[in-house]
């Protein structure tokens, strides 16, 4: 560990010092260029570089789902990927769903069904539900519960979360039927 440098040679670190990299993310439709250290997670980049604090840091280990965002349309845990690994990706966070003053149907349904108490898990729940509905694999409440199991709600609002998701699924089905 403490081996001395050979005489005459300058002491050099064993590894070249990491430098920040320039990356580009398309976040909620807007192109963002930022400089990130290699070890910065996507979650930290969103919250600390782009001031998008809607995405929450819960466990920071991929176990709670509070950090769920959509990357290229798919839900992922933003705490378990590095920002640099997502260079060029399209990211959608909770801030990207409303259109002006018009809430996304899931946001509206969560309010109508009282699908949260403290609200900390809600941005992740909604991002997760957006992909769940777009995939169309969940039909029954049991299937919704299974495919929402990556989002923990410690207040226990699960039954209302399932009701809110069902409402949006059913409204979309009616639209398709027409």
Partner 1 sequence: MNRFTHTWAGDVASAISEIAGDGTAKFIAGGTNLIDLMKENVERPNRLIDISRLALNRIDSAAGGGLRLGALARNSDVAYHEAVEQRYPLLSKAILAGASPQLRNMATVGGNLMQRTRCCYFYDTATPCNKRKPGTGCSAITGFNRAHAILGTSEHCIATHPSDMCVVLAALEAVVRVTGPSGDRSINFADFHRLPGDTPNIDTKLRAEEIITGIDLPAKGFPKHYSYLKVRDRASYAFALVSVAAALEMDGHTITEARLALGGVAHKPWRDPQAESLLHGQSASRDNFVRAAEALLQDAKGYGHNSFKVELAKLTIVRALSQAAFGEGES
- Residues of the shown chain interacting with partner 1 in the complex, contacts defined by CB under 8 A: 14-18, 21, 37-39, 41, 60-62, 65, 68, 74-77, 80-82, 84-85, 128, 131-132, 137, 145-151
User: Nearer to partner 1 by C-beta: 111 or 135?
Assistant: 135
Q: CB of residue 6 vs partner 1: minimum separation in angstroms?
A: 21
Distance, CA of 90 to CA of 14 (rounded, Å): 36
Residue 142 CB, nearest distance to partner 1 (Å)? 10
Give least dist CB 103 to partner 1, A.
23
Of 114 and 146, which has the nearer Cβ to partner 1?
A: 146
Q: How far apart are CA 49 and CA 39, in angstroms?
A: 14
Report in angstroms how near the CB of residue 75 gets to partner 1 at its nearest.
5
Q: What is the DSSP string of 127-171?
A: HHHHHHHHHT---SHHHHHHHTTTS--TT--HHHHHHHHHHHHHH
Tokens of 22: 């320039």
Nearer to partner 1, 17 or 31 (CB): 17
Measured between alpha carbons, how far is 76 from 73 in angstroms, rounded to an integer? 9
Q: Closer to partner 1 by CB, 34 or 80: give it.
A: 80
Backbone phi and psi for residue 168, each to the nearest 5 degrees, phi listed first: -70, -40
């Amino acid at each position: 560990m403490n081996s001395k440098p050979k005489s005459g040679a300058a002491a050099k670190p064993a590894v070249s010092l990491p430098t920040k990299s320039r990356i580009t993310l398309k976040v909620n439709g807007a192109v963002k260029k930022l400089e990130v250290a290699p070890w910065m997670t996507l979650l930290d980049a969103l919250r600390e570089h782009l001031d998008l604090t809607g995405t929450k840091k819960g466990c920071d280990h991929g176990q709670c789902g509070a950090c769920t965002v959509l990357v290229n349309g798919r839900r992922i845990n933003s705490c378990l990927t590095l920002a640099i690994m997502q260079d060029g990706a399209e990211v959608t966070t909770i801030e990207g769903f409303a259109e002006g003053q018009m809430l996304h149907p899931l946001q509206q349904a969560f309010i109508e069904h009282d699908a949260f108490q403290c609200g900390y898990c809600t941005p992740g729940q909604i991002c997760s539900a957006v992909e769940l509905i777009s995939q169309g694999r969940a039909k029954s409440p049991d299937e919704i519960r299974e495919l929402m199991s990556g989002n923990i709600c410690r207040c226990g609002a699960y039954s209302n979360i399932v009701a809110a998701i069902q409402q949006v699924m059913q409204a979309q089905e009616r639209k398709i039927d027409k």
